[in-house]
Structure 1
């Protein structure tokens, strides 16, 4: 009992309250840190899971939406913000053909009208393997190409098809790829002619045994 007659035995000592308050503060800080850590983990996992959706499709994958493999499929007109493939010229008409050399060599033939057309070959990653145009084709403006692996070419030379010596032979070890035709489309009166030539372009598998 204190000097003024009050019983102070039941009152907690001031230092005891201080210890309790400090303990509660540390506990709260710990909970905040733990919550922050868990939130960081959740955000990290969500970001990792979302990466596949954010990665743009390769040109090889996107071409599949325009038609079956093994033939040239016309691509939609190039519109800003809605290009069927990257880096296409809106002044040109485009057609693409996907191929798989595991099924055999690929023969490409086209007779596109002037004033200008070009041909390019890409692997599945979108890297250019070969290109030429009507002025460098060396065949009177006609396109006649054989895409083939070195192993297939060795086998083909044992029994060469007719006209092999007149073809541009492109050797590659890339199994998957696509060919892209581009032709100047500046005259609306000739658009139907150009479209027909694109659709008649050949991109067919040539079995090699």
Structure 2
């Protein structure tokens, strides 16, 4: 019985130490989230390419060596967001994340017309406004309606081998992430 009591006491003390360590480490991890780290290197609507050499330690770099990525922060209170790019790569995907880093929406080139990168991100109120006054230059754009006002657009490109690195670089460097005021 004494051994059981000793084991329980030791387990409780160990669990208490682990919980205290987590509480003390939490503030240091809360300032290293993706939003904070991305805002330290770029302004809203600036596209940041996750270059492994240049940004190592500053922004989260994809662990997969076959994936190249770029991101931009946005604020839909300024108007809708227009994300577009040119070029051709074997595969790309786009994800929207909210301010806390939760994935809100994801899409890939397989779900778009001709695999083109051309998106408009809007709030529900902005979507109603756009429906009443449709702009003809947005005919091929994919409209994404979200409740998120501030967030991050993350674009990933699959680079299967070295021969695709040039195309991936052109594609990621050509991505435009810009606010579009409501008319």
* TM class by smaller structure: 0.7 to 0.9
Higher relative contact order (CA 8 A, sep 6+): 2
Unpaired segments of 5 or more residues in structure 2? 1-19
1:51-200 equivalence runs, <5 A: 51-77=26-52, 82=57, 84-85=59-60, 88-137=63-112, 139-200=113-174
Match of 2:6 in 1: none
Distance 1:124 1:197 in 2: 26
* Deviation (angstroms), 1:70: 0.7
Superposition CA RMSD, Å: 2.7
Unpaired segments of 5 or more residues in structure 1? 1-43
CA distance change for structure 1 residues 88 and 101 in 2, over 3 Å: closer, same or farther?
farther
Structure in which a larger fraction of residues adopt strand: 2
* Deviation (angstroms), 1:56: 4.9
Distance 1:49 1:77 in 2: 30
CA distance change for structure 1 residues 88 and 126 in 2, over 3 Å: closer, same or farther?
farther
Distance 1:129 1:178 in 2: 10
* Deviation (angstroms), 1:181: 0.7
Q: SS of the counterpart of 1:122?
A: strand
Q: Is the 8 A contact 1:112 1:183 kept in 2?
A: no
Q: SS of the counterpart of 1:166?
A: coil
**Between Structure 1 and Structure 2, how many residues are aligned?**
161
Which deviates more, 63-72 or 115-124? 63-72
Q: Is the 8 A contact 2:50 2:61 kept in 1?
A: no
CA deviation vs aligned residue, 1:54-83 (integer Å, no higher than 9, x gap): 4352212211234332132101229xx958
Distance 2:173 2:104 in 1: 23
| Higher Rg of the two aligned structures | 1
Distance 1:127 1:88 in 2: 19
Give every structure 1 segment of 4 or more consecutive aligned residues whose post-TM-superposition deviation is greater than 4 Å.
47-51
Distance 2:160 2:127 in 1: 39
Distance 1:112 1:131 in 2: 20
Taking structure 1 as the reference length, the TM-score comes to 0.67
